[in-house]
Amino acid sequence: MHVSGYIIAGLALASLTACGSNGTGAPTTGQAPTTINTTGHTEVDATRFTDALQAQYPALAQGRTAKGIGHDVDATCAEAHQGVDPLVIQQHIIGRFARPDTTPSPAQAAALLALMRATACP
């Protein structure tokens, strides 16, 4: 590698640090992430979504574990990162979050996708 290559690499690393990245793709928030999945969000991010889901849509969260909800968040964020059409993602959300007693409406699925993007999908 030429000297200019080292300079470019150094600048790239410095810009990551300046942008608040910890080098993993997850923003630094003062709270260390416990794990980072392939979509770049942390368990802390998934917990934010779970808390919001329980507050805004308690019927969709009832009887579900944080781990189960986190799995649905992982799958949905992965689709969003892959550029899957939002309407397709919303259909998948309906299936993922359907419970025997309740199924999200298309409007709720759109709201859940927006909530995931705001809380868990970087």
- Give this prediction's pTM: 0.64
Q: How far apart are CA 81 and CA 71, in angstroms?
A: 15
Phi, psi angles (nearest 5°) of residue 4: -65, -35
Q: How far apart are CA 87 and CA 25, in angstroms?
A: 26
Q: How far apart are CA 94 and CA 121, in angstroms?
A: 18
Q: Are residues 42 and 98 in the same domain?
A: yes
The parent domain of residue 16 ranges over: 1-30
Q: Are residues 112 and 91 in the same domain?
A: yes
Six-digit token string for 104: 């999200």
Q: Are residues 82 and 109 in the same domain?
A: yes
Q: Are residues 24 and 41 in the same domain?
A: no
Q: Are residues 41 and 19 in the same domain?
A: no
Q: How many domains does the chain have?
A: 2
- Provide the residue-wise pLDDT of the chain in tens; the chain has 122 residues: 444 443 333 333 333 333 333 333 333 333 333 333 444 555 666 788 888 999 999 999 988 988 899 899 989 999 999 999 999 999 999 999 998 889 999 999 999 999 999 888 87
